[in-house]
Amino acid sequence: MKKNLLLSFFVVLFFSFNSMAQTTEIKAADPADVASIDAIMKAVYDVISGDAGKPRDWDRFRTLFHKDARLIPSGKNAQTNVVAARVLSPEDYIKRAAPNMEKEGFFEREKARRVEIYGNIAHVFSTYESFRSLSDKKPFMRGINSFQLFNDGTRWWVITIFWQGETPENPIPKKYLKSKN
């Protein structure tokens, strides 16, 4: 009796999880967002940018990333002087960044780009400037995003974004302030 009850429990549990997995609908990417390197780069910067109080389209954000993608901020902790990197999934990034972006306002613009392509992979060094508002004249932050992109034959995917903000002791070299393709 206990054996049958336990077996029944696991069967119900299995079908419950299977049913939940099948009903979770994942939004498909807009083909215009993922058709080219230019398109996916524009989409990434566009989707994270917006005025204070404006929610971001996190569903659109998710469609740009491969299922195993990672976002990796790096830099020196101002209090400890320890240089580190933190590895985040797209979901971790949303949880960490969304509240501040939407509260303060955040616009990130690409200033320059360097692209290397081999087969179905691309590396994009993208120099960025960050603003709280589109009317800001000077960025409050600059840095470099290192994108690794993958083309599966039908579209581009973000695999990794690894970035570091500019600091007084580590200014952005002039060669990364001009685009070169």
Q: What is the CATH number of the domain that holds 68?
A: 3.10.450.50
Segments forming the whole domain that contains residue 159: 31-177
pLDDT at 77: 85
| Domain-embedded: residue 5 | no
Q: Are 63 and 155 in contact (CB under 8 A)?
A: no
| Domain-embedded: residue 67 | yes
Task: Count structural domains, the chain.
Answer: 1
| Domain-embedded: residue 137 | yes
pLDDT at 26: 64
Rounded-to-integer distance, Cα 132 and Cα 11, Å:
52
Amino acid at 108: E
| Domain-embedded: residue 143 | yes
**Sequential pLDDT tens for the chain (181 residues):** 545 443 444 333 344 444 444 444 568 999 999 999 999 999 999 999 999 999 999 999 999 999 999 999 999 888 898 999 999 999 999 999 999 999 999 999 999 999 999 999 999 999 999 999 999 999 999 999 999 999 999 999 999 999 999 999 999 999 999 998 6
Please tell me the pTM assigned to this model.
Answer: 0.84
What φ, ψ does residue 142 adopt, rounded to 5°? -135, 165
| Domain-embedded: residue 18 | no
Q: β-pairing, 107-118 with 121-131?
A: antiparallel
Count the neighbouring beta carbons within 10 Å of the beta carbon of residue 93.
Answer: 21
